[in-house]
């Protein structure tokens, strides 16, 4: 089963070791261990891997902004009791870097993707990166669990990576339905570089690339308009609703509509899993740019992910 995995070789080696870790590494605990997952999609990844074997505390809920998150007293209490603390890294949540004095704090994306330059911390928008993160989380969870539960952890991790690999292949097929001259993603911020690189789209980030501090001056508006018009863009993709005044202003200037559904840049969409959010984002871009989305196949992937136990 593991031979089909596509995460980096060093990470896969660690995953295989999960099934053979000596019981002396971590004696069985009298009470259920607690793991804190701070940001990104880590809460869902961790809960999927541990099933009911570990209590997972999620600090940032879907729809919240990880960039500006500040630790609350209740968060610090949960952190003090945790056997393991997981956060994305790459400065997605700067407050996570203030957690110190413990070797149990792991910047998962940084471990999974050591060669990444960190300019865009939203690495999970490429399913291959999510698969690499799964392997790192599983490797760090193994010493937290009693030896009797580690083979089940390894099996869940292997299936999770299989599903994420299938998600990546599904995404390739969806983006291939977009006319070649329309394979562009116009968004407000640079949060989708891993998605656009994986699927061969041009990325235009209106506010990050052409404004200073998000301030839209007349000269910035003219530059954005010139960049977007003729790019093949069919829509402007918001990251939240209601649409901001700035995005409405850009829409009027460029003549492009703001797409009716937002993209979810910073984590999970409400009531959706990692796979559910990814398929939603991909279908939003594909349909907005004139392609077609296979929702039946997307639902099958979502069901496979939910079935991991």
Could you read off the pLDDT of 117-163 as tens digits, one per residue?
A: 999 999 999 999 999 999 999 999 999 999 999 999 999 999 999 99
* Other beta carbons less than 10 A from residue 293's beta carbon: 20
pTM (two decimals): 0.88
Distance between CA 118 and CA 245 in Å, rounded? 30
What is the model's pLDDT at position 102?
63
Beta strands in the chain (DSSP E): 34-37, 55-58, 84-87, 105-107, 184-187, 202-205
Question: For the stretch 16-37, what's the b/e string if a residue is b when 16 or more beta carbons lie within 10 angstroms of its beta carbon?
Answer: eebeebeeeebeeeeeebbbbb
Q: Is 183 helix (H, G, I), strand (E, B) or coil?
A: coil
pLDDT in tens, 179-196: 999 999 999 989 999 999
Residue 225: Cβ-neighbour burial (10 angstroms; 0-12, 13-18, 19+): middle
What is the DSSP annotation of 193-211?
HHHHHHHT-EEEEHHHHH-
Apex 48 CA angle, 42 and 54, nearest 5: 90
- The parts of the chain modelled with pLDDT lower than 70 are 1-30, 100-103, 212-214
Domains of the chain as residue ranges with CATH: 10-15+29-158 (3.40.50.1980), 175-306 (3.40.50.1980)
């Amino acid at each position: 089963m593991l031979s089909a995995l596509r995460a980096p070789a060093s990470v896969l080696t660690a995953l295989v070791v999960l099934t053979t870790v000596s019981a002396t590494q971590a004696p069985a605990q009298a009470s259920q261990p607690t793991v804190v997952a701070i940001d990104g999609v880590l809460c869902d990844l961790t809960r999927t891997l541990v099933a009911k074997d570990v209590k997972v505390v999620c600090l940032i809920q879907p729809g919240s902004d990880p960039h500006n998150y500040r630790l609350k007293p209740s968060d610090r209490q949960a952190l003090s009791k945790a056997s393991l603390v997981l956060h994305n890294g790459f400065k997605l949540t700067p407050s996570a870097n203030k957690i110190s004095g413990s070797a149990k704090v792991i910047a998962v994306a940084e471990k999974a993707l050591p060669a990444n330059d960190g300019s865009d911390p939203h690495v999970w928008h490429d399913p291959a990166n999510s698969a690499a993160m799964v392997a790192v989380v599983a490797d760090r969870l193994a010493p937290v669990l009693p030896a009797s539960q580690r083979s089940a952890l390894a099996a869940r991790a292997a299936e999770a990576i299989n599903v994420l690999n299938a998600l990546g292949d599904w995404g390739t097929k969806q983006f291939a339905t977009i006319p070649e001259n329309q394979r562009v993603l116009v968004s407000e911020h640079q949060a989708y570089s891993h998605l656009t690189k994986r699927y061969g789209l041009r990325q235009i980030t209106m506010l990050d690339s052409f404004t200073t501090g998000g301030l839209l001056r007349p000269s910035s508006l003219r530059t954005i308009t010139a960049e977007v018009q003729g790019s093949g863009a069919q829509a402007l993709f918001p990251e939240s609703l209601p649409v901001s005044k700035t995005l409405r202003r850009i829409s009027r200037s460029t003549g492009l509509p703001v797409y009716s559904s937002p993209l979810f840049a910073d984590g999970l969409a409400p009531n959706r899993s990692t796979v559910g959010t990814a398929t939603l984002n991909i279908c939003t871009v594909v349909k907005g740019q004139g392609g077609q989305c296979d929702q039946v196949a997307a639902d099958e992937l979502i069901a496979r992910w939910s079935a991991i136990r």
